[in-house]
Chain A
């Protein structure tokens, strides 16, 4: 039985475990129908032209986690931020780990989706927001059909969350090959401020395929900063679809740091529904060997006087492959827009490949939209300049790569996270320098 059939047939049993009168039954049934019709994406679809899931779909995945497998904190300490206090929502093989987490209901809700879907006090928020931003794509609807667990974050009006929130999904590998579908829902009310860091981490060398969906709703004047750390094992693959809807005067940023994993596909869609919104999409990709990272971004401008700023940098070594597909869609009404998109790539080996396609669809006539896309190699003149000062070739190349990725790091607002990413970059480049940029 292939994965698609396996999933379709398992759905009845899955729904049995949930409350009979839940309005979610209909939602999920419809979602399943969409997945049944569309199936997994193939290379015939334009936006999946360069990313094939075929090899991943051949695995015999366990699609229903059996129960919480214990992990000692000391074994996973390295995946958390140190020296800064945070809220934590941690899952092991798809099941909540109260031991590793630190949730709260004190003025804000930082807790579990399963509770939110189940308890009536959360119904107003669920009814208003759940699945309202997610697109009608096969994989997104597959996640919706099986959405059961993940992070639920609701920040009420005017609340500025005092600590960053870490969301971590661990896979222990005790389940051989695992297919997991986490679902996050984040709602920031008027003028709420929140910072979130998310990562997926496999702790074994068994295959893991994660089909994650995150919906973020930023109400008027809200500020949401989301950081995705993608430094998973080389046997783990991820399709991450994040949908963000912004109301007027809100500012949302998503930083995606892609260093690990086998195949990673990031679908990142922003929709600016109100005036004076600002959307920031930044990414650093550093991969090698046979890794593959595909960034598919969409910023949909609907209202006037908005801004969006995208800066994706990629460094590709070995036989790695990268894709950047960045679309800016400007409706007729979205006048006075200031949109900027930049994608810069460096190929370090001649076996690496990058396919970049910036797309602008502009229907308004009073806007400023600029985009730049470069694919190149390290600057030989700069390398010689450094070597002439005694900096060895390896260190000179590393310094140039650091410098290349640097300005994306500059916009990271959590100092501890910034230095952590700095170290990850140093590890990936294979050199440690005596200072931090």
Chain B
């Protein structure tokens, strides 16, 4: 599904990713962990196509198609979804209208017509229930005045509506208390299936108790230095990132 081959990326001239290799197959959940500044969010932004980040080497393939040169919206049309660490607020645009536009723009790109209003409403209702989102919430301005937990739940609500093939969740657990975390994790787990894949970027192991990964990778100084199964996450929790640094020496 996703193949990242020798990707180097920099921002404002500063090199952040120094040769990332990663393969994610359909149906898999991968976790990417690492200390602050290791390049985790950069990796997420580069996969989503954020223009401030320059990919200086390598390629990214989604279902064997090269998406390296594609605009962010094109990647979204191909099935990439990025759940932001800091979701942006857009005052004046309601949650509902935003997601309606996103869905219909994607359909337009595929040559399909707009989703019929009744179908859209039904889907909104369904996914809102899945994520325990109050109906009143949906008419509020996107992310304006939302708490951290509400913002993250809204990200997963969008994921549920857009049904992506590859979901990259960037520090989805940061700023969440245990109850909010459970709701978000439950949502992601319900959306997981054998045809899509999830990449979890996280600092703490806690999230991985709820969304169980098939593979765990450790990112340090712009490179994946160690890969393993979910046990690796427990080891990191216990021993810290310094343990890996020592191992590498």
Contacts of A381 in B (CB 8 A): 88
Question: Would you call B101 an interface residue if the criterion is a C-beta within 8 Å of the partner chain's C-beta atoms?
Answer: yes
Q: In whole angstroms, what is the CA distance A382 to B92 when docked?
A: 12
Chain B, interface size category, equals 35 or more
Contact of B90 among A380, A388, A395, A400 (CB under 8 A): A400
Contacts of B104 in A (CB 8 A): 434
Given A379-B88, A387-B73, A390-B106, 14 more A-B residue pairs with CB atoms under 8 Å apart are A384-B51, A386-B98, A388-B48, A388-B75, A389-B81, A391-B73, A392-B73, A392-B105, A392-B109, A393-B73, A402-B92, A403-B91, A403-B93, A434-B100
B90 and A390 contact, CB distance less than 8 A: no
Q: In whole angstroms, what is the CA distance A384 to B106 when docked?
A: 15
From 86 to 118 in chain B, residues with beta carbon under 8 angstroms from any chain A beta carbon are 87-88, 90-94, 97-106, 109, 114
Q: In whole angstroms, what is the CA distance A264 to B151 when docked?
A: 43
Q: In whole angstroms, what is the CA distance A391 to B107 when docked?
A: 10
Question: Would you call B125 an interface residue if the criterion is a C-beta within 8 Å of the partner chain's C-beta atoms?
Answer: no
B92 and A390 contact, CB distance less than 8 A: no
B73 and A390 contact, CB distance less than 8 A: yes
B93 and A437 contact, CB distance less than 8 A: yes
Residue of A nearest to B82 (CB): A388
Question: Would you call A435 an interface residue if the criterion is a C-beta within 8 Å of the partner chain's C-beta atoms?
Answer: yes
Question: Would you call A385 an interface residue if the criterion is a C-beta within 8 Å of the partner chain's C-beta atoms?
Answer: yes
Q: In whole angstroms, what is the CA distance A390 to B82 when docked?
A: 11
Question: Would you call B162 an interface residue if the criterion is a C-beta within 8 Å of the partner chain's C-beta atoms?
Answer: yes
Tell me the smallest distance from the CB of A436 to a CB of chain B, in Å: 9
What residues of chain A have their CB less than 8 Å away from a CB belonging to chain B?
A: 379-382, 384-393, 395-396, 399-400, 402-404, 406-407, 433-435, 437
Q: What 1/0 flags go to B197-233 for Cβ under 8 Å of A?
A: 0000000000000000000000000000000000000
Query: What does DSSP make chain A's interface, helix, strand, loop or mixed?
Result: helix
Contacts of A407 in B (CB 8 A): 91-92
Contacts of A388 in B (CB 8 A): 48-50, 72-73, 75-76, 80-82, 84
User: Are A391 and B93 also in contact (CB < 8 A) when A384-B51, A385-B87 are?
Assistant: no
Question: Would you call B172 an interface residue if the criterion is a C-beta within 8 Å of the partner chain's C-beta atoms?
Answer: no
Tell me the smallest distance from the CB of A410 to a CB of chain B, in Å: 9
Contact of B105 among A391, A406, A435 (CB under 8 A): A391
Tell me the smallest distance from the CB of A282 to a CB of chain B, in Å: 15
Q: In whole angstroms, what is the CA distance A400 to B72 when docked?
A: 17
Q: In whole angstroms, what is the CA distance A435 to B104 when docked?
A: 11
Residue of B nearest to A399 (CB): B93
User: Are A382 and B76 also in contact (CB < 8 A) when A388-B82, A391-B105, A434-B101 are?
Assistant: no
Question: Can you list 24 A-B contacts (CB < 8 A)?
Answer: A380-B52, A384-B72, A384-B88, A386-B90, A386-B102, A388-B48, A388-B49, A388-B76, A389-B98, A389-B102, A390-B76, A390-B77, A390-B103, A393-B71, A393-B73, A399-B93, A399-B101, A402-B92, A403-B92, A403-B93, A404-B92, A434-B100, A434-B101, A434-B104
Contacts of A435 in B (CB 8 A): 97, 100-101
Contacts of B73 in A (CB 8 A): 387-388, 390-393, 396
B88 and A389 contact, CB distance less than 8 A: no
Contact of A382 among B88, B100, B106, B109 (CB under 8 A): B88
Contacts of A389 in B (CB 8 A): 76, 81, 98-99, 102, 158, 162
A-B pairs with lowest CB-CB distance, top 7:
A403-B92, A390-B76, A406-B92, A387-B72, A390-B106, A389-B102, A385-B88
Contacts of A437 in B (CB 8 A): 92-94, 97
Residue of A nearest to B114 (CB): A434
From 43 to 57 in chain B, residues with beta carbon under 8 angstroms from any chain A beta carbon are 48-52
Contacts of B102 in A (CB 8 A): 386, 389-391
Residue of B nearest to A437 (CB): B92
Q: What 1/0 flags go to B120-144 for Cβ under 8 Å of A?
A: 0000000000000000000000000
User: Are A433 and B101 also in contact (CB < 8 A) when A384-B50, A384-B72, A388-B76 are?
Assistant: yes
Tell me the smallest distance from the CB of A91 to a CB of chain B, in Å: 37
B109 and A390 contact, CB distance less than 8 A: yes
Q: In whole angstroms, what is the CA distance A389 to B91 when docked?
A: 17
Q: In whole angstroms, what is the CA distance A400 to B82 when docked?
A: 20
Q: In whole angstroms, what is the CA distance A396 to B76 when docked?
A: 14
User: Are A390 and B50 also in contact (CB < 8 A) when A385-B84, A437-B93 are?
Assistant: no
- Of A385, A386, A388, which is in contact with the most chain B CB atoms at under 10 Å from its CB? A388
Q: In whole angstroms, what is the CA distance A379 to B91 when docked?
A: 12
A391 and B90 contact, CB distance less than 8 A: no
Tell me the smallest distance from the CB of B99 to a CB of chain A, in Å: 8
Residue of B nearest to A409 (CB): B92
B162 and A390 contact, CB distance less than 8 A: yes
Tell me the smallest distance from the CB of A30 to a CB of chain B, in Å: 49
Contacts of A403 in B (CB 8 A): 90-93
Q: In whole angstroms, what is the CA distance A435 to B132 when docked?
A: 26
Q: In whole angstroms, what is the CA distance A387 to B84 when docked?
A: 13
User: Are A391 and B101 also in contact (CB < 8 A) when A403-B91, A407-B92, A434-B114 are?
Assistant: yes
